[in-house]
Every structure is written in structure tokens, then in C-alpha cells.
Structure 1
Amino acid sequence: MKKITLLLVFLVSLTAWSQDDAWVYFNAKSNEQVYYDSPLSMLSQRALDRRFKQNIALDFKDIPINPSYISQVKSVDGITVLAKSKWLNALHIRGSVSTINSLKSFGFVSNVHFADKSLNITAKSVNTSKSKIESKISNSRVNFAYGTSDNQIKMLKGDALHQQNYTGSGLIIAVLDAGFPGVNTVQPFQRLRDNNKILGGYDFVTRNANFYAGNNHGTYVLSSMGGYKENALVGTAPDASYYLFITEDNSQENPVEESYWVEAAEKADSLGVDIINTSLGYLGDHTNPAYNHTYEDMTGDATFISKGANIAFSRGMIVVASAGNDGTESEPHIGSPADAFSVLAVGAVTANGSKASFSSIGPSYDGRVKPDVMAQGQSTVLSDENGNIIAASGTSFSGPIMAGMVACLWQAFPNKSNQEIKDMIVNSADKFSTPSPQYGYGIPDFNLALGLQFPDMEEDVMGAIHLNPNPTASLVKVSFPQSVQGVNVVFYSVSGNKVLDYKNIVSDAPISLESLESGTYIYKLEFNSSIKTGKIIKL
């Protein structure tokens, strides 16, 4: 993991430390029905089409923050508003502790949460931490000259999708990163420019429309998906379209960067983006150590950015996040948003498929399999801001390589939901039956994922098969229609060990889990040559 570090040593004054970061949450919104009646005032037609296709209704989170709440908070002397989130109905603010706490007197304020957890004496905290950059069309058959990028694509069998003309066309990827210098000028991005595949962007840090600026890390990341230089570099989704958002402040490590990220994700949602790629991670080593996260915070929904990532998924997008580069550190675990329940967290392997030593490990603190999958992140072939073809290492690059392949697979199955596409990828991975904290479910096979399909009738059946109750203290049952026969259910520990195996079960017959210790387990239902997976909590 390549950390964003300051190149100059400087002293932080005591005055600076007197200002604290916090989120102020509101308890209501205004004119809800007006927005529901006029959805194009909140979301683009493409965003609404994505919702309709996945049967996702508009809800309270889509409604903008009441402008009067923002203006009243801004009017308080000593309060600076740095970012806002309609999804979480909150503002990111900065000020003295006493002034921030005074906001609780407003009737429309439900809670105030400080980024410094020690200041949340009487309330449950929303934790925030340091930010890290995660790095150490035609109808004819497509045969790209991959050149030196050959291995990172063929490892995932991405060439098989490309050869069937699944190159990301029609999909939109938002890249949330630290900057994109050179993307508007150098040769490896010319194909994107010539085909109008850069749809726009924004710098949320400086509130500036010039997104072809900032740190070159975003340029590297984009090149692994959209770069193209024949016989040298081909990205995994060379025909996808892209929005480029700067959310990372290279001058410091501050919790407001998580709020910038959520703002950018909300913008991506409104524009109709399909996939969000983020090669940023938040765990420790913040400029102000009081803002650090710990492994204990990696529970899927504790941090502000992970909350936002989960909401992004609930809007129908897929969020792909780099797992982190702390594998050799004293705290080797994944950060956020890679820990989020719905995020596809990507670790790094070498060219031969072995885990890269720097790649952060799982599980999440609450015991879920993380990372989810792996891709090449050591000696990854990229373009720099000068157009040079280079090699660099980090989960920063395994993540976007995977995000590009997600776009290609979704192009092949445009009517699938985000959950279905994510499941297809995980189910195709080489360690799906034996996940581990080092590899997660392993390296996906996208050619295999193309074949993990079911007849329409069986897709309906998939939705009619349920394992419940969940959580459970002792017994579960699997409910399925009479048309399904020969159902087997297998339970695995989060480390990938098979712990229970039941063959040819009867619908709604009790299945005992009493022999298992309390914790989280993975179940796999096998039926009619099909597979359905999930997690279950044993109390």
C-alpha cells in the first residue's frame, strides 16, 4: 500500500488542534413528496433506469438535505461546513468541541458524532481515520495485442470476454482517487478521449472542475482499466466510460476525505454510474492520531465511508475497493471501505498467482471473508502521467483491474442485478469452497463466470430458495419448491474449512447447527447443478 505522505516536515500549531472534525446528523428532510413526484430533480434518467431495472425504489436517502438546515449550521460562528451527504442526512463540519456540541440545541439535529472517538462520551461514535492510496466496439471478434499487460488480464480469463466483444461498452465506471494528470494529453488515454469515454469529473477537495490535476495515482489506476497502447498496455475495460472524481487530499490525512468520498459516490449515483472503483483505504496513521481507525472498527458499517459504500450498493451500483497494502505491518488487516458488507474487496497476487506479501488480509473484525477476491497487484503494467508504460505494485491496481472485468461481465448480462453480478464473480473464484484470510475466495475466472448461468425458470427458483432463521441458536431449515430435487447444503468456517455437510435434504426439515461454535459461517446450497451461497450467524 502506497501511503500518501507529506514531503515536507512541518509543525502543527496548538491552534490547529483546537479545531475538531465531526458529523452533524439531521432528523428530517423537507418536500419529500415533491421530490418523489419529480425524480429527475434528484437523479438522471440513466440513474432512474438503473433503479428500475433492479427494482429499487426511491427512498428517504435520495432526498436532498433541507437547505435551511445547512444555512443555519453555517451561520453558527466558529463552524465550517466541509462536506455534505444526503444519503446519511449529515454535514461534515469543523470547529471547537463546545461550538459543535452547541448544535445539539437545534431541533432538527438528531446527533453529533466526533471523528475523535474519545469526544463521543454520551453517544455511539461514528469513527473516521487516515486515508491511504492503495499502491506500493464492433460486432467482430476482438483480439487485443496485450503486450506486457497480457498476464494481468489472462490471469482472470479476461481475454475470453474481450474476444466475445465484452470490453465494458455501455458501462460507466466512476474512479474515486487522488488526481488524474496527463489523462487529457498522453497517448495511452487517447483511445478514451477519441471515443468520448471520459464523461466528466470533479475535484471535491478543492471544489474545482479541473480534475486533470492532483496526484498521479489516479492516472495509474485509470490506465489499468481504460489505458490502451498496442503491444504494451490494454486495460481490462478499454471501452467503458469513466467519470473521474478527486476525493483524496494529498496535503494531509483528515477524516473529511471520507466525506468527500461519500459526496462523490452520491454524485456517481445521480449520474447513472454502474461501478465505483476506489483505490483508497482508511485504517490508521492519521495526521491527527485521535482520528485513527482500528481493526475493531472493521465491522462492515462502522465508518462513514463504509456506510456510504453500502448505500451505494443499495442504489444498484457495485463498489470495488482495494483491500490495502498492510500485509507486512503489525496491523495487517483490511481497512475501510474494503470491510463494508457489500463491497467487492480486492487483494493482490503476484504474476504467478501467489499472494503478494504486502496485500492486507482478512477476515473483517466481525468474521466475514475478506478480501473477497484477488487479482494481479505486484508488478502491474500501467501508464504514468507522461505516457510511459511502467510497472508498479499495490492493491491500488488489483482493484481497478477487477473493476474493469466487472464492467465486461455486466455488459454480457445487462439485466442482472449488482448482487447477481457480484455473486457470479465470487462463485467463479478458485478458492470459492475453501476461502482463507489471505486470499478470500481467490482469483475469479471470468470465462467460467460467463457460464454460471441458469435457465429463466431456474433463476426464479433461485429466489424461492431460502435458509432461515438467520441468525440462529441451533436449528435452520431450507425452504424450496417441489420442482427442486437433490438439495445439498454445506457449511464452511470463514477460514474455508468444511464443518457440516447435509445431502438430499427435505424442504423445511430441521437442520442442526448445535455442534458449531458461535460465529459466522458460509453456507452453500447445491441443487439442479446450480449453487446459491450466503452467510449465516450461529448465536
Structure 2
Amino acid sequence: MKRLLLIFFLVTCYSYSQEEHAWIYFKDKPNVEAALNNPSTILSSKAIQRKSLRGTPIDERDIPVNEAYISTIKTQENISVKAKSKWMNCVHVIGSLEAISNLSNLGFVSEIEFANKNINSRASVENKKLENKLETNIDFNYGLALNQTKMLSTDYLHENDYTGEGVTIAVMDGGFANVNTIGAFDRLKLNGKLLGGFDFTNRSGNYSNPELSNHGTLVLSNMAGFIENNFVGTAPDAAYYLFITEIGPTETPVEETYWVEAAERADSLGVDLINTSLGYTLFDNPDYSYAPEDMDGKTAFISRGANIATEKGLLIVTSAGNRGEENYFNIISAPADANVLSVGGVDRNRNYVTFSSRGPSADGRVKPDVAAQGLEIVAIDQFNNLVQASGTSFASPILAGSVASFWQADPSLSNLEVMQLVKAASSLFNTPNNRLGYGIPDFRNALSDLLESNQDSGELFLYQNPVVNQLKFNNSTDQTYNITLFDMLGQVILQKDQVQNEIDLSGFSKGIYIAMFEQNNSRQSFLIIKK
């Protein structure tokens, strides 16, 4: 037995000695001052509007990586550049240990971080059983999505016309097989809400390749799917970008970098919310694996990226993981350990399901944050069939879509404010635990708390934004407002004086406008989305 173990050890070492993964960090970025003075050169107009609306600063991290540095690294022998991160100002490379180490001789390289924990002089991690992140238990029992939606009172949001309109969601996953062809997403495409996508793993725009995983298709359906009289996702009127960052058959650190790169793309496009039903703990090469004590929200590369995404104003919703029944690594994975809204799983009767990864985080924070149905949920597969599936991979998008529909009620809320409102409206807010966190959110209560808070504050608050016909606003005084409506070029297209609490916009085309409210020599402006 010892001889066999020795042979296995030698074979393993030989297999992994040929190449290493590493992040190469750069010292600086080009044209920083010019880019910050003219942010439209580095961000989309929607991204700039979102950041302005919620007070999110634009800083040096928004500036792209120096392409000249990347080109130089690509010319180095035995080095392959796989991905890049502007937030981290680095590239992810694969190459021999010697070749990667030699990159430190380049004058613009500030640091090299190996994924191999032994090279970085960190404790090695025992190679426990690997989890298939995309594994789901599916059978073809047809059913409706009523229970998983009603559990969160998301149906109440929909009844009040909060369906995710005006909110943009990016979905990070391993594949979106057939999303461009099956009927469940016809409504999404007809309304121009499928904005596009990208396969970061293959550098391809073919994100709906039928040969790739269907996991993202199932996940997307929980938010955006629609089959008349049979299925409605939790955010059927949100807009979506679809990004492939996961390589299903393998588990390597470059997938973390693909995720961060996709998050940066999402931020630059003006995305509001990211759903990611992925998690990282153990890798094919055990030297790259994380230990439970690394789940502290600041060790894993993907978690560091998720924290920056949150600082940039994005709301990250992520699955807690499916390791709850394991002895070694049963706590939440990365990036669920970061400053994100991590989602655990319950059954249809609101009971904890044992496969759902538990908390707290390694540094003692409440995790998961909230919970939603994750056992025997209903989704739509790549053949347009209603199927049953299980995993926190599905609790996450059910919750993410609900958050998007809720956020529509007040788009001026910051991501952190939305997260806090969702937690505060959850069933265990005063007594959180390590299985369900703050519990199961009730979005009826969250909406009521939001509307009452805005009314009690006496602040001007818009209802139903995006607007169909009538722009309604609260007015806690008997005084009226003078309202001026501008288009995005700053031209005045409407002026109304002495308006009490609503204004008719039925004659205007779809688009984004700026409404200025004036009263007693004070003025407030809001972005208005007309649908």
C-alpha cells in the first residue's frame, strides 16, 4: 500500500509540475488623469448614469489595464496570458515556474501571486473530494413556479407592477445552451431585454452554444423565463447580459479571473446586479485549493474581485454552495464569503436542506445572508421543458430576480441599502443562524417598509419608475411642484407648474429622461425610465 501511495504521489507531482497559474500585478496604468476627466472613454453612458444616480465614485480601478504591458508579457517564452483584471491591475498567466518567476524582471511588474499555495509559502490543503459546481439533480416532472415565487412574496411585487423593469442583470455561469432559440425566452428577446453576452473562457460571442452546459439556461429561466400560463421568472422584465466564466469539466484558478473580468465588463456596461451560481473551494491541483479558513472574504481572488464590484455599486447575489453534508468543507464557498448577498437553500415548506453550505464565514460574519427555495425548484431546460432541479444554484437566481423587481421600486437606492432592506425583511433578522442566515425574505414587507420610510421622511419619492403612463410621486406637504422634463441631451421637452402628485407621460416614447422638481427655491432631479 505504501508503495502504491508513493507511486501515486510521484505521478501527481509530475502531472502538476509542468505549468503553474499566477496573477501578474502591474505598477501603474496609462493616462489616468485624462480618463478620469472624461469617463465616457472608459465606461458606457449607462454605467456613468448608474454611478451618478447612486453616488458611486469613478476611480483609477475603472481604467483598463495597460495593453502594452500585456503585449510584452505575451512575447515571453513559455507564458500564456489567459485573462486580465482592470480592478486588480493584473493578468492571469499559465506557464512554467521559471518563466513566471522571470516576469519579475520586467520593470512594470509590481508583484507575482502564484495560485499554488506551496509556492506562496502557504499551508497546503488536503485533496478532498471535488465538488461539481454545475451538478444538478433533474427529472422531468412538470410543475409550476408558484411555490418558489410565493415563498418570497415576489408575486406581490409583480401584482404591483414591479417586475424588474429598468434593472439590468448579468448572469455568470458555465453555459447558456439554446437561450437564443427556445420559446421560454421569446418574450425576453421580443422586448429587447436579452442584451447579449460573451464566453470569456473561449473568447467567443457564442454564449448560447448548444454544446456547452445548460446550467446557465436553467439559472436564467428562474429570473427571466416565461411560458404563458405555466411559468414566470422572478424578474421577467429585467434586461440581461450572459457571461460564461466557468469551465465545467475542470476546476482551475483561471476561472476566478474570468469571473472578475466579466464583473468588470458588467460594471462598464451599467449592470445593476450580478447573479453567480458558482463557487470555488477545491481545485483539480490540490496545491491551488483553498482551506476553510480562507473563506474570510479577502483571501480568494474571486472574493477580492466581488468586494470591489460591491464598492463599485454592483449588487452581487451568489449561491452559498452545496457542501453542507460534507465533513471537511461544509461552509460557504468563494465568493459567497465576500461582501455579497449569499443565498442558502430551503425546501418547499421553508425548512433548511442539508446540502446547503453553512456559515459563518471564516472571520465570523453571518453567512449565508438569506435563503430561498433550493430543493425541487422548477426551471426550464435547453429543450424548453419544465423540469425539477435542486441546489443553491437555483435559490440564488430566484432571490436575485426578486431583488431586481424590488429595486425597481426605488432605483436611487444603493446596492448596500437594498441588501440591508432585504435582510431586515427576512424571517430570522433578529436571530440569524449558520444555516439560513437572516432567513427567508418577505418582499411584501420589504416594499411596505420602503414606501413607508420614504413617506415618513418627507423626501420626494417617485412611484412606478420605470413609468408606463403616469409618473406618480409622494407629496407630504400641501404645496405643489414645478416640474421640468429633459431628454438625455439636456433639451427641455416638458414644463408643468403646480403639480400635486402625478404627471402624464403617456405621449412620450420609451427612453431615459431627467425630471427636475422645484419647490420653495429648492430643486431635485431624478432619472426617469419611460417604458
Normalising by structure 2, we get a TM-score of 0.79
Distance in 2 of aligned mates of 1:32 and 1:230: 50
**Counterpart in the other structure of 1:74:** 74
**Counterpart in the other structure of 1:507:** none
CA contact (8 A) 2:92 2:257 kept: yes
Once superposed, which parts of structure 1, at least 4 consecutive aligned residues long, lie more than 6 Å away? none
Distance in 2 of aligned mates of 1:371 and 1:329: 17
**Counterpart in the other structure of 1:61:** 61
SS at match of 1:280: coil
Distance in 1 of aligned mates of 2:343 and 2:135: 11
Matched AA of 2:439:
G
> Match for 2:236 among 235, 238, 242?
238
Matched AA of 1:255:
P
Tell me if 1:209 matches 2:210.
Answer: no
Cα root mean square deviation, aligned: 2.1
Bigger drift between 311-320 and 100-109 goes to: 100-109
**Counterpart in the other structure of 1:436:** 433
Q: CA deviation at 1:12?
A: 8.2
Distance in 1 of aligned mates of 2:53 and 2:316: 18
Tell me if 1:391 matches 2:388.
Answer: yes
Give CA-to-partner distance per residue, 1:345-380, whole Å, 9 cap, x none.
000100000011110000000000000000001001
Once the two structures are superposed, the pairs formed by residues 21-420 of structure 1 within 5 Å of their partners are 21-121=21-121, 132-133=133-134, 135-136=136-137, 148-213=144-209, 214-284=212-282, 286-330=283-327, 331-340=329-338, 342-420=339-417
**Counterpart in the other structure of 1:480:** none
Q: CA deviation at 1:287?
A: 1.3
CA contact (8 A) 1:130 1:292 kept: no
CA contact (8 A) 1:23 1:93 kept: yes
Q: CA deviation at 1:459?
A: 9.1
Tell me if 1:449 matches 2:450.
Answer: no
Give CA-to-partner distance per residue, 1:256-294, whole Å, 9 cap, x none.
00000011101101111110000000012x211111111
**Counterpart in the other structure of 1:526:** none
CA contact (8 A) 1:22 1:115 kept: yes
Distance in 2 of aligned mates of 1:380 and 1:55: 37
Q: CA deviation at 1:232?
A: 2.1
Structure 2 CA distance for partners of 1:232 and 1:332, relative to 1, 3 Å: same
Once the two structures are superposed, the pairs formed by residues 431-510 of structure 1 within 5 Å of their partners are 431-453=428-450, 454-455=453-454, 458=457
Matched AA of 2:87:
W
Distance in 1 of aligned mates of 2:203 and 2:249: 15
Distance in 1 of aligned mates of 2:399 and 2:261: 23
Distance in 1 of aligned mates of 2:355 and 2:143: 26
Distance in 1 of aligned mates of 2:34 and 2:117: 38
SS at match of 1:156: coil
SS at match of 1:261: helix
Q: CA deviation at 1:327?
A: 0.7
Structure 2 CA distance for partners of 1:434 and 1:67, relative to 1, 3 Å: same
CA contact (8 A) 1:148 1:231 kept: no
Matched AA of 1:299:
D
Q: CA deviation at 1:110?
A: 1.3
CA contact (8 A) 2:16 2:285 kept: no
SS at match of 1:325: coil
CA contact (8 A) 2:179 2:382 kept: yes
Distance in 1 of aligned mates of 2:74 and 2:195: 33
Matched AA of 1:427:
A
Distance in 2 of aligned mates of 1:352 and 1:457: 36
CA contact (8 A) 1:156 1:444 kept: yes
SS at match of 1:94: strand
Structure 2 CA distance for partners of 1:257 and 1:156, relative to 1, 3 Å: same
Q: CA deviation at 1:455?
A: 3.9
CA contact (8 A) 1:203 1:210 kept: yes
Distance in 2 of aligned mates of 1:389 and 1:12: 43
Matched AA of 2:367:
K
Structure 2 CA distance for partners of 1:334 and 1:459, relative to 1, 3 Å: farther
Structure 2 CA distance for partners of 1:122 and 1:226, relative to 1, 3 Å: closer
Distance in 2 of aligned mates of 1:253 and 1:95: 17
CA contact (8 A) 2:143 2:386 kept: no
CA contact (8 A) 2:422 2:441 kept: yes
Give CA-to-partner distance per residue, 1:62-91, whole Å, 9 cap, x none.
111112211121121111110000000011
Matched AA of 1:371:
P
Distance in 2 of aligned mates of 1:15 and 1:322: 32
Structure 2 CA distance for partners of 1:294 and 1:131, relative to 1, 3 Å: farther
Distance in 1 of aligned mates of 2:266 and 2:121: 35
SS at match of 1:430: coil
Identity of aligned residues (%): 50
**Counterpart in the other structure of 1:501:** none
Q: CA deviation at 1:324?
A: 0.2
Q: CA deviation at 1:14?
A: 3.8
Distance in 2 of aligned mates of 1:60 and 1:430: 40
CA contact (8 A) 2:143 2:387 kept: no
Distance in 2 of aligned mates of 1:114 and 1:358: 32
Matched AA of 1:104:
S
Distance in 2 of aligned mates of 1:288 and 1:111: 23
Matched AA of 1:76:
Q
The count of aligned residue pairs is: 435
Structure 2 unaligned segments of length 5 or more: list them: 1-10, 124-129, 460-531
Distance in 2 of aligned mates of 1:281 and 1:397: 13
Give CA-to-partner distance per residue, 1:220-252, whole Å, 9 cap, x none.
000000011123221000111100110011231
Distance in 2 of aligned mates of 1:294 and 1:16: 19
**Counterpart in the other structure of 1:506:** none
Structure 2 CA distance for partners of 1:58 and 1:353, relative to 1, 3 Å: same
Normalising by structure 1, we get a TM-score of 0.78
SS at match of 1:452: helix
CA contact (8 A) 2:378 2:388 kept: yes
CA contact (8 A) 2:36 2:60 kept: no
Bigger drift between 92-101 and 394-403 goes to: 92-101
Structure 2 CA distance for partners of 1:79 and 1:165, relative to 1, 3 Å: same
Distance in 2 of aligned mates of 1:273 and 1:66: 24
Distance in 1 of aligned mates of 2:363 and 2:16: 35
Distance in 2 of aligned mates of 1:131 and 1:23: 25
CA contact (8 A) 1:372 1:442 kept: yes
Q: CA deviation at 1:107?
A: 2.2
Matched AA of 1:405:
S
